[in-house]
């Protein structure tokens, strides 16, 4: 059983924190998967941008530590490797 919050964007952040390859549908349009990118990654800070390429919806979150340092920078769930070059 998964924990659901009242905010679907928070649920998406939690899902990507647990599994960078998670498939999370856009809370706004429900037509495409959300993607994320870490816009700034320092020794202890990261800002994660969640976005939908179909409708343009986006949301940001700041972490005191990168959610998954090995998956930092960008992530596109539709690529085979899960990483965007």
> What burial letters (b/e) apply to 41-58, b meaning 16+ CB within 10 Å?
beeeebebebbbeeeebe
Q: What is the per-residue pLDDT for 49?
A: 94
User: pTM of whole model > 0.85?
Assistant: no
Q: How far apart are CA 27 and CA 11, in angstroms?
A: 10
How is residue 8 annotated by DSSP?
H
Q: How far apart are CA 61 and CA 13, in angstroms?
A: 8
Q: How far is CA 26 from the centre of its chain?
A: 11
Write the pLDDT tens digit of every residue in 22-81.
999 999 999 999 999 988 767 777 889 999 999 999 999 988 765 555 544 555 544 333
More confident residue, 78 or 84: 78
Q: What is the per-residue pLDDT for 54?
A: 97
More confident residue, 67 or 20: 20
Tokens 């972490």 correspond to what residue?
63
């Amino acid at each position: 059983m998964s924990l659901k919050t009242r905010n679907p964007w928070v649920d998406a952040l939690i899902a990507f924190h647990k599994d960078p390859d998670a498939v999370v549908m856009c809370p706004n349009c429900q037509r495409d998967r959300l993607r994320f990118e870490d816009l700034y990654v320092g020794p202890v800070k990261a800002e994660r941008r969640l976005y939908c390429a179909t409708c343009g919806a986006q949301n940001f979150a700041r972490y005191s530590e990168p959610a998954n340092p090995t998956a930092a920078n960008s992530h596109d769930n539709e690529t085979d490797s899960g990483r965007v070059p």
